[in-house]
Every structure is written in C-alpha cells, then in structure tokens.
Amino acid sequence: MSRQRLVVLTSGLVAVTTGCAVQYGASFLIPELRAEGLDLAQAGALAGAPIAGLLATLYLWGAAADRWGERIVMSTGLAIGGVALLAWFAQPQPLHPLTLAVTLAVAGAGTAAVHAASGRLVLGWFAPHERGRAMAVRQTAQPLGVATAALVLPPLANVGLRTAIGALGAACAVAAVLTVALVRDPPPRSAAAGAADTTSPYRTAMLWRIHAASSLLVVPQFLTATYALVYLVDAQHWASVPAGRLVAAAQFGGAVNRLVVGWWSDRAGSRLGPMRRLAVGIAAVLGVLALATLSGSAVLAVTALVAATVLSSSTNGLAFTAVAERAGSAWAGRALGVQNTAQNAFAAVTPAAFGAVIGAIGYASTFGLALTLPLAACFLVPVGSEQRVRAQLP
C-alpha cells in the first residue's frame, strides 16, 4: 500500500470513528441526563436525536459527495457537528432538553457526511482485488466509535454533561482539520470510464436487493448488541459486570471478524457470495441460541450468543463494498446514502420492536423469530448478478 493510500484510509477511519462516537454515543450519557432530572423516556429520546439527524441527511451528503468530492464533504460535515456541539457547550444556562435535542440532531446530521464520502474514498483509491480489505478497515469504525464513546463519555459525564458534549465537539473539530490536511480525493478516472457509469444503477434490481438484504441482516446485529447483556443477566443469571465484559469481548471479535471477512471477499473475488454464506451462518447460530435457551443449556446458549454477536456484524462491509462497486464513482455517494439510510432505519426500530417481542413471547421464541430475517436475506442477495458486474470493473 502506497503512503498516500495509507494516509487516506487512516484519515477516513478517524473521521468515521469520530462520527460514530457522536451518532451512537449519546446513549452513554443517559445516566447523567437522568441525574439532571429527565425521566428515562426523555433521556432515551435525547440519545436517539443524533440518529434522527443522521437518517434525514445521509442521502443528501451522498449526493453532495458525488458532485463536490469526498474531502470537502467530510470536512464540512464534521465541522458542522463540531460547531453545534461546542456552541451548546459554551452556553452558560441550565440544561434545556429541547435545545440539547436540536444540538444532537444537528450534530448527527452533520457527521452523517462521513459515511458515504468515506466509502467513495475506498472505491476510488483501491482496486477491486483489495477493496474488501480496505472497506473492512473502514467498517471497523462503527464498533471502534461505540467502544470509544463507552470508555470516554461516562467518566467525562461524571465531571459534567457539558464536559462530555464539549469533548465530542472538540473531537469533531480535530477530525475536520485532519480531513482537510490529509484526505485527498481519488485520482480522476478516464473519460470513458466516467461516461460508462453515469447511467442510474437503480434501473436494475441488483442494488435494491442488496439494500433489502443488508437491512434485514442488520436486525440480528442490533438485537444481539442491545439485548445480549440483559439476556445474560435475566436468562442466564450472570452479574452485570462479567456480562458486560463478555459483551465487549464479543463486539471486539465482531470488529476483527470484519477484517477477516474483507480479506475473504478479496480472495474469493466476490462480496455477495460470502454475504449469503454468512447470512446462513447467522440464521444457524440464532437457531442454536433459541434451542439452547429453550432447553436450559447455559454453556451452549452463551457460546451461541457470542457467535451470533460476532457473525451478525460481519456482513456490513461486504454489502457496503458491493453497493459502491455496482453504483460506480458517479453514483456511489447517493447509493451509499441509500444503503446507510435503510440500515440505520432498521437499526433504529429494532430495540423497541424486539423489546416488545421479548416481553410478549420470551427470549427463546424471539431468537427463533429473528432467524427468519437472515434466511429471507439469503434469497435476496443477488449473487448471480455479481460476476457480470465485476467483469466490467476498472
């Protein structure tokens, strides 16, 4: 890997990690928000505000990246997030929930710029035989961002809520400066190649099927991420501290697995073939988890839970890379915006929806119900169309 490409990939990783810390890290401020006098519903609504902003702007930022390039879009979005958070930090008055909600929503809307633009960087700087690994590195940003927020924000919030918000704003500002200084848009493609990919890729069903399949596959990921600790405490009678450690280890395993899967897809010359096989594996381990929970086999259940957590996070990079390659450079930003919007919409409704399901039918039946989603995704993944597309790649 050339020095320039390594710098671009690393800078993009830092930008996306920072964005994810803002977008998904507000939940770690809930204890402090409740200490400020908010009830759980109000604190939860504030924690979801960055995701609301994210969903509203993902496609718009993708279209902007297609038009103006990755560097300006990423740096502008991070700057917007930083300004919004630092402006709230600078206010002297007591906490006002509506003001904070708007601030977090604007920060989420701004930092949404990093997602599609960083995907375009990988598409432009890396050849087809190495994009799987490069995109896998980029995709580790989400668990890294959440892990960073989990480690840093609670102790800062103990000092003061403003301290935690100010730290997020400062991180966005630093990431924006690094993006301007280090990120470079990919070299321009030839005129012939540029003309070849200006036709909308949505004229065929391939992208729609990838969006649908990956959205279904995101549900088991957020189901296990949200309820793994609660399941260990309620169903397996673990203490919360060791349960949290196991969940953290499983999340780290999921990040490592993304790298392995990216390498696998490059070696196989396919993104969607591995994606379909992983969907089968996710359904299988959810089935084992359901049966083990029903039978009371604690060791098997915990093992299956860890396997489900690791496997369910492994398909994101494959789908992201497949979408970018199918869309081409002229459409990649918009297509990745659609991809992120669909996945985040499913991710946003999963905790509440499955919380109600668990309350109604229990853990075992819920896991059994959840396995139908990756099975459905198996039939949606358009493996047959992939080789024809890859034969036309630059």
Q: Alpha-carbon distance 276 to 64, whole Å?
A: 32
Among 168, 186, 204, where does a domain finish? 186
Are 15 and 115 within 8 A, CB to CB? no
| Residue 222 placed within a domain | yes
CA 294 remoteness from chain centre: 31
> Is there a single domain that holds both residue 125 and residue 241?
no
Same domain as 136, residue 210: no
Give the whole-angstrom CA distance, residue 335 versus residue 116.
8
Task: Pick the most confident of 258-262, 295-299, 341-345.
Answer: 295-299
- Residue 153 and residue 19 share a domain: yes
Q: What is the pLDDT of residues 277-335, one digit of tens each?
A: 999 999 999 999 999 999 999 999 999 999 998 999 889 888 888 888 888 777 888 88
The pLDDT of 47-56, averaged and rounded, is: 87
Q: Are residues 167 and 304 in the same domain?
A: no
Residue 31 maps to which CATH number?
1.20.1250.20
Is residue 358 domain-shared with residue 282, that is, in the same domain? yes
Dig out the tokens for 228 from the structure.
């793994």
Q: Are residues 166 and 210 in the same domain?
A: no
Residue entry with tokens 């935690």 = 164
Q: How confident is the model at residue 197 (pLDDT cuts 50, 70, 90)?
A: low
Query: Which of 145, 166, 186 is at the close of a domain?
Result: 186
Please indicate, yes or no, whether residues 152 and 211 belong to a single structural domain of this protein: no
| Tens digits of residue pLDDT in 262-282 | 889 888 888 899 999 999 999
Both 39 and 13 in a single domain? Answer: yes
- Are 307 and 178 in contact, with CB atoms under 8 Å apart? no
Residues 178 and 249 in one domain: no
What local confidence, expressed as pLDDT, does residue 198 receive?
A: 66
- The stretch 10-16 carries a mean pLDDT of 91
**191 domain-assigned:** no
| CA separation for the pair 154, 160 (Å, rounded) | 10
What mean pLDDT comes out for the span 48-60?
88
- Domain count within the chain: 2
Same domain, 154 and 253: no
Domain span holding position 223: 196-390
Residue 385 has pLDDT above 90, yes or no: no
CA distances in angstroms from 159 to 22, 35, 164, listed in the order given = 19, 12, 8
Please, what's the b/e burial string for 142-162 (b: 16 or more CB within 10 A of its CB; e: otherwise)?
A: bbbbbbbbbebbeebbeeebb
- Of 120, 153, 186, the position where a domain reaches its end is 186
pTM greater than 0.85 = no
Same domain? 155 vs 201: no
**Is residue 214 domain-shared with residue 246, that is, in the same domain?**
yes
pLDDT classification of 191: cutoffs 50, 70, 90 = very low
In a domain, 158, yes or no: yes
